[in-house]
Amino acid sequence: MYIESLEAIHFRNLKPLKLSLSPKMVMVKGNNANGKTNLLEALYVCATGRSFRNATSRQLLQHGQEQGRVKARFFRQSVR
């Protein structure tokens, strides 16, 4: 199984993003406070429906936003 794509709007400190991911290894790198952990948290929320930081839904939204969205597409053995 691998993650084919990820979209996030108004999630934590992430700018709106739409990523297409490779079934091979993906490396995420950047300076401190640039959103690497928030990107992983967005994937975790898509996979489990909750935050690994035990944050409420409200805490996942960017400051001042009433709604947001995270969406991932998973690929498993020819089933999307």
pLDDT score recorded for residue 76: 84
Q: What is the pTM for the complete model shown?
A: 0.87
d(CA 17, CA 30): 16
Q: Is the pLDDT at 79 greater than 70, yes or no? A: no
Question: What are the pLDDT digits (tens) for 20-74?
Answer: 998 888 899 999 999 999 999 999 999 999 999 999 999 999 999 999 999 999 9
Query: What is the rounded radius of gyration, in angstroms, for the C-alpha atoms of the chain?
Result: 13
Measured CA to CA in angstroms, residue 31 lies from 28, 62, 68 at distances of: 10, 20, 25
pLDDT score recorded for residue 22: 87
Measured CA to CA in angstroms, residue 49 lies from 41, 44, 55, 64 at distances of: 11, 7, 11, 22
